[in-house]
């Protein structure tokens, strides 16, 4: 695990690369991400064979661009892929044509609102070629000129140079607890040369992994799985090839756009009022934030994770909106270290509660003899907990999780958990895992 000076410095290392669904620079990005992940997390890059079925989709081919540019015939070069990968529409098929302006125009993209910036466009499945440029550059193109459009690209299906994504798992103190299941944290890695969407979410996720490795979750907690790969299709490929994993996933967080200066926003799970939603609400209650519905803009991989036939409750954390979105203005200038780490801290608090939570089920009959078992709480030491003892003890019927009990008695989760753990240590309650809501088909 490499040391780093700041999260922004990690982002700067992979920011300029030509990341897309599958590309050599996507491989490099996954390597860089792995170099900063904790050694104990068993970070693994997986390779999938292009064109293999993935539920109703197919594993994408690798996209290779040898050269791409647009020139005014007999004049200057208007845009060059070498200068910025955003200059071509992602997954443009090859082209080598001389065209009049009218023929070229349907293949040109610019952003009216940000005339100096180059927009990012992708046509992964339409396979139509195109160039992206600033509105200012577009306005200067001679309307009576001829243009030479060149894209030397290839769609590679070699199974050894396939479609890649990466996973890692951080176990709680004392090792894995398979019966507790896992939580999954995702960030996507497919946006070429853009910083906030999606590099920022990636480095906030790395920070979360490092915090959980340095200060592991209590024994018996869920494992936390980390996932990096291309948006939507990456999660579809992963889950369709690892269906046996789905029932063990108890909840998820998707993170992106965490580096710009804006308040935290969180999106509910599809379940809307799941335990995970209630925990997220609890965590952000003293932080300036915005709350949104499931799949509200900007929707991401939670649509797959929490979608049909999977249904793992998944929330999303971001700092949307920001004006530089999907343009060359989404660069390191708009990224702030404290925003990146504050977002990681919010996710960390959600993970720590959700993954360490369980449902206590009593083994005792009658009120427990507290002082005889070292369970008495002196009112002079903790008045609030002293007043709540009976209420807590009445809620060990296997219906309420520790978080819900804390919420119902109006006390801090960690205080109540520490107290319930004392009952557990005495064998007075057994911990039932948080149930899975995942669908098996």
Give the binding site for Zn ion (CB under 5 A). Answer: 197
Q: Which is nearer to Zn ion, 21 or 353 (CB)?
A: 21
Nearest to 52 by CA among 158, 189, 186, 154: 158
Alpha-carbon gap, residue 107 to 128, rounded angstroms: 8
Look at the block and give the residue holding tokens 């070069």.
Answer: 77
Nearest residue to the partner Zn ion, using Cβ: 197
Q: Which is nearer to Zn ion, 234 or 251 (CB)?
A: 234
In the complex, minimum distance from the CB of residue 133 to Zn ion, in angstroms, rounded to a whole number: 19
In the complex, minimum distance from the CB of residue 47 to Zn ion, in angstroms, rounded to a whole number: 24
In the complex, minimum distance from the CB of residue 197 to Zn ion, in angstroms, rounded to a whole number: 4
In the complex, minimum distance from the CB of residue 25 to Zn ion, in angstroms, rounded to a whole number: 17
Residue 72, helix vs strand vs coil: strand
Q: Which helix (H) or strand (E) holds 282?
A: helix 275-284
Q: Which is nearer to Zn ion, 197 or 329 (CB)?
A: 197
Q: Which is nearer to Zn ion, 231 or 404 (CB)?
A: 231
In the complex, minimum distance from the CB of residue 350 to Zn ion, in angstroms, rounded to a whole number: 23
The answer to whether 228 touches 188, Cβ cutoff 8 Å, is yes
Q: Which is nearer to Zn ion, 123 or 400 (CB)?
A: 123
Nearest to 95 by CA among 60, 71, 76: 71
3-state secondary structure string, 231-242? CCHHHHHHHHHC
Residue 325, helix vs strand vs coil: coil
Q: What is the dihedral of CA 18, 22, 24, 25, to 10 degrees?
A: 30
Q: Which is nearer to Zn ion, 134 or 327 (CB)?
A: 327
In 112-162, at which residue ranges do the beta strands (DSSP E only) sit? 131-132, 146-156
In the complex, minimum distance from the CB of residue 198 to Zn ion, in angstroms, rounded to a whole number: 6
Q: Which helix (H) or strand (E) holds 350?
A: helix 337-356
């Amino acid at each position: 695990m490499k040391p780093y000076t700041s999260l922004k410095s990690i982002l700067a290392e992979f920011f300029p690369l030509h990341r897309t669904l599958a590309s050599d620079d996507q491989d490099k990005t996954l390597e860089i991400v792995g170099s900063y992940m904790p050694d104990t997390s068993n970070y693994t890059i997986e390779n999938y064979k292009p064109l293999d079925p993935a539920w109703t989709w197919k594993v994408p081919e690798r996209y290779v661009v040898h050269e791409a540019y647009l020139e005014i015939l007999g004049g200057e070069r208007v845009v060059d892929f070498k200068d910025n990968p955003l200059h071509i529409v992602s997954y443009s098929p090859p082209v080598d044509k001389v065209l009049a302006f009218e023929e070229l125009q349907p293949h040109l993209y610019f952003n009216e609102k940000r005339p100096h910036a180059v927009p990012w466009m992708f046509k992964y499945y339409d396979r139509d070629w195109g160039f992206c440029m600033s509105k200012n550059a577009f306005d200067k193109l001679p309307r009576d000129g001829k243009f030479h459009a060149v894209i030397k690209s290839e769609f590679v299906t070699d199974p050894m140079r396939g479609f890649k994504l990466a996973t890692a798992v951080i176990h709680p103190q004392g090792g894995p607890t398979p019966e507790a299941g896992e939580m999954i944290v995702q960030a996507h890695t497919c946006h070429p040369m853009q910083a906030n969407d999606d590099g920022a979410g990636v480095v906030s996720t790395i920070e979360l992994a490092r915090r959980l490795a340095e200060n592991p979750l209590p024994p018996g907690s869920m494992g936390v799985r980390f996932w990096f790969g291309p948006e939507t299709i990456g999660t579809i490929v992963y889950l369709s090839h690892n269906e046996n994993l789905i029932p063990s996933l108890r909840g998820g967080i998707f993170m992106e756009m965490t580096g710009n200066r804006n308040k935290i926003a969180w999106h509910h799970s599809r379940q809307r009022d799941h335990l995970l939603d209630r925990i997220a609400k609890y965590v952000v209650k003293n932080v300036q934030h915005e709350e949104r519905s499931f799949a509200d803009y900007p929707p991401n991989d939670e649509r797959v994770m929490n979608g049909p036939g999977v249904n793992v409750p998944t929330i999303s954390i971001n700092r949307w909106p920001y004006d530089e979105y999907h343009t060359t203005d989404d660069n390191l200038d708009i990224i702030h270290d404290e925003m990146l780490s504050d977002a990681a801290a919010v996710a960390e608090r959600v993970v720590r509660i959700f993954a360490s939570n369980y449902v206590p089920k009593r083994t005792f009959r009658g009120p427990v003899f507290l002082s005889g078992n070292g369970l008495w709480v002196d009112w002079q030491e903790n008045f609030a907990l002293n007043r709540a003892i009976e209420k807590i003890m009445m809620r060990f019927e296997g219906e309420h999780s520790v978080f819900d009990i804390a919420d119902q008695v109006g006390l801090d989760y960690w205080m109540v958990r520490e107290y319930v753990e004392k009952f557990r240590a005495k064998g007075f309650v057994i911990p039932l895992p948080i149930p899975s809501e995942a669908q098996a088909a």
